[in-house]
A and B are shown apart, each in its own frame.
Chain A
Amino acid sequence: MQRIYFDNSATTCLDPKVLEAMRPYFDQWYGNASSLHALGRESYNALDEARRKTAKAIGAQAREIIFTSGGTESDNLAIQGAAFANSSKGNHIITSTIEHHAVLNTCRFLEGQGFKVTYLAVDPHGKVDPESLKKAMTKSTILVSIMTANNEIGTIQDVRELGGIAHDAGALFHTDAVQSIGKVPLDVTRENIDLLAMSAHKFHGPKGVGALFVRKGTNLRPVVYGGGQERGLRSSTENVPGIVGLGKAIELSMAEMTESVEKMTSIRDRIIQGTLSSVDDCNLNGPLEGRLCNNANFRFDYIEGEALVLSLDLKGIAASTGSACSSRDSETSHVLKAIGVRNEHARGTLRVSLSRMNAMDEADEFLGVIPEVIARLRAISPMSMLKKPSSPGG
């Protein structure tokens, strides 16, 4: 069976070119980047090159890139790091209700450490209103953390404006850009960003490696203490093959970005239009405009997302309910709650997320099976009896 992979917001496949770039750093150039001998220097140079590629992709300087173990650690270092290092200036943090748990749960932890956190509400499309951020800013606000684009419903925020508002009030601006690298053009200076988190495996790099952009002069306290690697902000022997992979993956993503975004957008639009027109009682979660080029998120009335995902899996199509992290428990997504989706509707959610490796004929194949899969699940759902009497077959 030809498998179709539509779960790229959970993770992506490793680009073969990335694997090729990483390979020698496992067994040939295995030196510790801190070692003075030739093997060590080779590793050091490899880190250096990856750092330059990563910085270039977001308009930063190489020394502003800190390599970490992934997006979650980058978010933790940014938020905990900025909070603890700047607590003499204030104790107020602002974020939004639709952030990834890496941000939300770090903020909740900080609430227990004496910080005050404001969680900004979003509109029905998942957008943070810059005016509400302006109103929430106080003299003691030290950090604003708003994601560049949402992992579940794909809403892209106006980070430039939000960052500007934070800066006007003297606060730092952090953005979780984990879903945005290679999909949303980002320049940290133009976008008023002081801290930016990314994760390699979301753009065809390896798992277990990420990066945090830290604007020069930004005060951060480390989360991990040890030998002082990564300018003292992230001790631990560097994951050289992983970092090389991140560097190669981001270089490839940037080189093909315009074409990739165009391609993903057209596949996404065909999936959205085709699904909405062929299935009754189906809605799109998130906006039509200002949406990640690789994200479609539907809610199908009367059925349950988990059963839908497993039914599609039997047809060879990999997709997900909400975000990968929460798809193993059936709790309602906090993002759907935040945009006002009622509990019973939030359960019939399907997220389709693309990458540049997908093709248009995969969209057609998906559209070929989705109506029958939905019809079958509705036939065994007692909720279908609640259908409006006017709908046929109800």
Chain B
Amino acid sequence: MRDPDGVGKASNDADGDVVVIYIKVKEERIVDISFQTFGCAAAIASSSMFSEMVKGKSIEDAVKVDKRMVADAFDEGMPSNKVECSIIAPDAFIAAVSDYRQKRIH
């Protein structure tokens, strides 16, 4: 993404998974979001699912989307051992939102 308003990164130290989330914000609303993920298929798929889920939402609503909601959004769910370790996009998103807020202050 060119000139994102916020960038956030989260990693899972146990497996070495890394997710970076880029956001564009207009009037406290997520108008665009993209991600980069290094991790298993579940990590990539859940990053994609998370992005779909929060796009268009207000920041206030978007930060409420948690791991469980991402896992449940898949038709057939997600293996329980994957939920904790692979769904790190929400953490990266919160980091991106705080990055956006900090930039606004400065």
Interface residues of A (CB under 8 A from B): 302-304, 306-307, 310, 330, 343-344, 347, 380-385
Q: What are 26 A-B residue pairs whose CB atoms fall within 8 Å in the complex?
A: A302-B38, A304-B38, A304-B40, A304-B43, A304-B44, A306-B40, A306-B41, A307-B40, A307-B44, A310-B41, A330-B15, A344-B16, A347-B16, A380-B35, A380-B37, A380-B44, A381-B36, A381-B37, A381-B38, A382-B9, A382-B18, A382-B20, A382-B36, A382-B37, A383-B18, A384-B36
In the docked arrangement, what's the CA distance between A302 and B16, Å?
12
Interface residues of B (CB under 8 A from A): 9, 15-16, 18-20, 35-41, 43-44
Q: Which residues of A contact B41 (CB under 8 A)?
A: 306-307, 310
Nearest 7 A/B pairs, CB to CB: A382-B36, A382-B20, A306-B40, A383-B38, A381-B38, A382-B18, A310-B41
In the docked arrangement, what's the CA distance between A385 and B18, Å?
12
Instruction: With both chains docked as a complex, state the minimum distance between the C-beta of B72 and any C-beta of chain A, in angstroms.
Output: 22
B38 and A382 contacting across the interface, CB-CB below 8 Å: yes
In the docked arrangement, what's the CA distance between A307 and B45, Å?
10
A-B contacts counted at CB < 8 A amount to 37
Instruction: With both chains docked as a complex, state the minimum distance between the C-beta of B88 and any C-beta of chain A, in angstroms.
Output: 11
Residue of A310, A330, A380, A385 ringed by the most chain B CB atoms within 10 A: A330
Instruction: With both chains docked as a complex, state the minimum distance between the C-beta of B81 and any C-beta of chain A, in angstroms.
Output: 8
In the docked arrangement, what's the CA distance between A307 and B43, Å?
9
In the docked arrangement, what's the CA distance between A381 and B39, Å?
8
In the docked arrangement, what's the CA distance between A306 and B35, Å?
18
In the docked arrangement, what's the CA distance between A380 and B51, Å?
13
Beyond the given pairs A304-B38, A380-B35, A382-B19, 14 more chain A to chain B contacts, judged by CB atoms under 8 angstroms and listed by A's residue number, are A304-B39, A304-B40, A304-B43, A306-B41, A307-B40, A307-B44, A310-B41, A380-B44, A382-B18, A382-B20, A382-B36, A382-B38, A383-B18, A384-B36
Q: Which residues of B contact A303 (CB under 8 A)?
A: 38
In the docked arrangement, what's the CA distance between A344 and B38, Å?
10
Q: Which residues of B contact A347 (CB under 8 A)?
A: 16
Closest to B21 in A: A382
In the docked arrangement, what's the CA distance between A205 and B62, Å?
54
Q: Which residues of A contact B38 (CB under 8 A)?
A: 302-304, 381-383
Instruction: With both chains docked as a complex, state the minimum distance between the C-beta of A174 and any C-beta of chain B, in angstroms.
Output: 35
Q: Which residues of B contact A384 (CB under 8 A)?
A: 36
Q: Which residues of B contact A382 (CB under 8 A)?
A: 9, 18-20, 36-38
Closest to A346 in B: B16
Instruction: With both chains docked as a complex, state the minimum distance between the C-beta of A383 and any C-beta of chain B, in angstroms.
Output: 5
A330 and B40 contacting across the interface, CB-CB below 8 Å: yes
Are A380 and B36 CB-contacts (below 8 A) given A307-B44, A343-B16, A347-B16? yes
Residue of B37, B38, B40 ringed by the most chain A CB atoms within 10 A: B38
In the docked arrangement, what's the CA distance between A381 and B18, Å?
8
In the docked arrangement, what's the CA distance between A303 and B20, Å?
14
Q: Which residues of A contact B36 (CB under 8 A)?
A: 380-382, 384-385
Instruction: With both chains docked as a complex, state the minimum distance between the C-beta of A83 and any C-beta of chain B, in angstroms.
Output: 34
In the docked arrangement, what's the CA distance between A67 and B62, Å?
60
Q: Which residues of A contact B16 (CB under 8 A)?
A: 343-344, 347
